[in-house]
């Protein structure tokens, strides 16, 4: 959950906890209204607790380090032990941050020891 959504959830929960049961209880409530107010307060408290314990997302927007993207790439060819990639290549998963590959082109490998990749490649 992003910081903005977390703040929004906390504010909304506080409003539900305070305002709604108060509105119900101001008009000389009967038993049903007391139960309704209690359920609404409990829902607000549950939302508040849930929002407070959410951790930031680990997706692209929250990733530390570089963000590598390959989008709409062309064709790549490797021959005689060469390497071709139309996506993102991070040997052995080196570095930090996020990597994505979308609508990549064709990669062709011909010959012994040749290698081709069209997505995110973490191999050594």
Rounded mean pLDDT of 26-36? 80
SS3 61: helix
94 compared with 118, residue with greater pLDDT = 118
Give Cβ neighbours of residue 49 (< 8 Å, ≥ 6 apart).
none
* Cα–Cα distance measured from residue 51 to residue 46, given in angstroms and rounded to the nearest whole number: 9
Which of the four pLDDT bands, split at 50, 70 and 90, describes residue 60? very low
22: pLDDT strictly greater than 60: yes
pLDDT at 123 (0 to 100): 73
Both structure tokens of 86: 């139309």
Both structure tokens of 50: 């849930």
Over the chain, what is the mean pLDDT?
76
Spatial contact of 75 and 104, defined as CB atoms under 8 Å apart: no
Helices (H), the chain: 3-25, 31-52
* Phi then psi dihedrals of residue 122, to 5 deg: -105, 5
Pick from 4-18, 19-33, 38-52, 53-67: least confident: 53-67
């Amino acid at each position: 959950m992003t910081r903005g959504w977390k703040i929004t959830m906390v504010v909304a929960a506080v409003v539900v906890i305070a305002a709604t049961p108060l509105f119900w209880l101001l008009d000389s409530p009967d038993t049903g209204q007391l139960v309704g107010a209690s359920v609404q307060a409990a829902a607000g408290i549950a939302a508040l607790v849930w929002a407070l314990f959410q951790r930031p997302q680990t997706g692209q927007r929250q990733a530390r380090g570089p963000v590598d993207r390959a989008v709409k790439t062309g064709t790549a060819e490797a021959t005689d032990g060469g390497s071709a990639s139309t996506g993102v290549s991070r040997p052995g998963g080196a570095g930090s941050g996020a990597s994505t590959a979308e609508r990549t082109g064709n990669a062709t490998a011909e010959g012994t020891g040749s290698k081709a990749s069209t997505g995110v490649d973490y191999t050594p």
